């Protein structure tokens, strides 16, 4: 797959230009530091002002999001920050907004926020995460994000399946099998989304987007994948295992969450469907990044026959798990 025109914009970003853009927008002087950070979709660099303030400048890949969609994510984080909810929001730039543009590339600048990622949480930390997301969702429910997608199997997932099967990402002889298992999944889980609450979400709330600062607690970062959807989407990726193996953590989380906001326990039935949707979402994400030579160098097996066969097998296992869920949950008080 050949490099698209959108990818040709990034080579224009030389260190001199990046430093100049930051200095112009923030009316400051920067040291001769421009360290590129790992990001396939965007281009992200760490800078430092002459007085030692760390900065992160993010250049958004042209064509990935509309300017309006990026503005909605920035506005959401600024709204959360104004309510003293711990997030890392973009700085206001010289034009009075959080976004500026260099040629066709839109960019934001963030303060560098130190912290570390935790892959296991104590009981008190689960309560704290529940309180944090409860507060965020309370704000997220106050309005909609009209320029952001709505997470739903018939919308986002179906579009991703069409994207993956409509090109040459997978061997032709596996396309029918992939389409079949995805169709079975979408048909199975769509009724579970009926009448479920939809609010503004972080959308990609996993360990790497939740940093912990000693003495300050957790901060949410990277709202690039902000989406409208059921609140459980911002939770399930943090649990240590499948739904039935994470019941103690779920209870702790809900105790903290419900300090600030009610939680509809019936939406717990979406955990495993959302996991299956994530499999497809991630495959589509990889397909978008496969035009980047750096991605393929670091993921040489992506797109191989073995990769897609394992993807099909994983989806089939997840369908089986979802089909078993109603029987196991019938007498479970968590669903009442």
- Out of 222, 224, 225, 234, which one is annotated catalytic? 222
Residue 312 and residue 185: Cα distance in Å, rounded? Answer: 11
> In which residue are the tokens 């992939």 written?
178
Q: What b/e string do you get for 106-143 counting C-beta neighbours within 10 Å, with b at 16 or more?
A: bbbbbeeeebeeeeebeeebbbbbbbbbbbbbbbbeee
Cβ-based neighbour number of residue 265 at 10 Å: 15
Which pair of structure tokens corresponds to residue 270?
């979406």
204 tagged catalytic: yes
Widest CA span of the chain, in angstroms? Answer: 63
Question: How far is the C-alpha of 92 from the C-alpha of 252, rounded, in Å?
Answer: 37
Spatial distance between the Cα atoms of 125 and 131, rounded to a whole number of angstroms = 10
Measured between alpha carbons, how far is 55 from 40 in angstroms, rounded to an integer? 19
Query: In the Cβ-directed half-sphere of 176, how many Cα atoms lie within 13 Å?
Result: 1
Return the structure tokens found at 268: 């717990």
Give the number of other CB atoms < 10 A from CB of residue 66.
12
Strand partners, 102: 105
| Beta carbons within 8 Å of 279's beta carbon, 6+ residues apart | 311, 314, 315, 318
Note whether 204 and 149 are within 8 A (CB): no
301 counts as catalytic: no
Q: Which residue in the list 51, 74, 168, 204 is annotated as catalytic? A: 204
- Sequence-ordered alpha helix ranges (H) in 211-298: 247-257, 271-289, 293-298
Q: What residues act catalytically?
A: 204, 222
């Amino acid at each position: 797959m050949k490099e698209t025109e959108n990818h040709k914009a990034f080579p224009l970003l030389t260190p001199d230009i990046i430093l100049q853009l930051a200095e112009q927008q923030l009316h400051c002087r920067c040291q001769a530091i421009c360290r590129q950070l790992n990001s396939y979709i965007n281009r992200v660099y760490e800078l430092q002002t002459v007085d030692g303030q760390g900065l992160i400048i993010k250049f958004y890949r042209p064509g990935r999001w509309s300017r309006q969609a990026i503005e909605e994510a920035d506005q959401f984080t600024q709204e959360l920050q104004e309510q003293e909810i711990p997030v890392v929001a973009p700085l206001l730039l010289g034009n009075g907004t959080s976004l500026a543009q260099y040629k066709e590339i839109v960019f934001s600048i963030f303060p560098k926020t130190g912290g570390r990622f935790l892959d296991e949480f104590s009981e008190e930390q689960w309560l704290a995460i529940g309180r944090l997301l409860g507060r965020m969702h309370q704000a997220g429910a106050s309005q909609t994000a009209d320029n952001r997608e709505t997470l739903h199997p018939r919308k986002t997932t179906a579009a991703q399946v069409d994207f993956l099967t409509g090109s040459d990402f997978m061997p032709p002889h596996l396309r029918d099998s992939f389409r079949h298992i995805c169709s079975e999944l979408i048909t199975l889980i769509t009724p579970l989304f009926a009448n479920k609450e939809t609010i503004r979400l972080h959308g990609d709330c996993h360990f790497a987007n939740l940093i912990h600062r000693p003495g300050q607690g957790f901060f949410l970062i990277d709202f690039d994948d902000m989406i409208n959807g059921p609140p459980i989407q911002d939770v399930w990726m943090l649990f240590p295992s499948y739904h039935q193996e994470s019941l103690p953590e779920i209870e702790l989380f809900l105790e903290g969450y419900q300090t600030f906001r009610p939680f509809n326990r019936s939406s717990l039935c979406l955990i495993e469907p959302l996991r299956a949707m994530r499999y497809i979402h991630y495959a589509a994400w990889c397909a978008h990044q496969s035009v980047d030579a750096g991605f393929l160098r670091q993921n040489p097996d992506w797109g191989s026959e073995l990769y897609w066969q394992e993807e099909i097998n994983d989806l089939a296992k997840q369908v089986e798990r979802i089909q078993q869920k109603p029987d196991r949950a019938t007498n479970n008080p968590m669903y009442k």
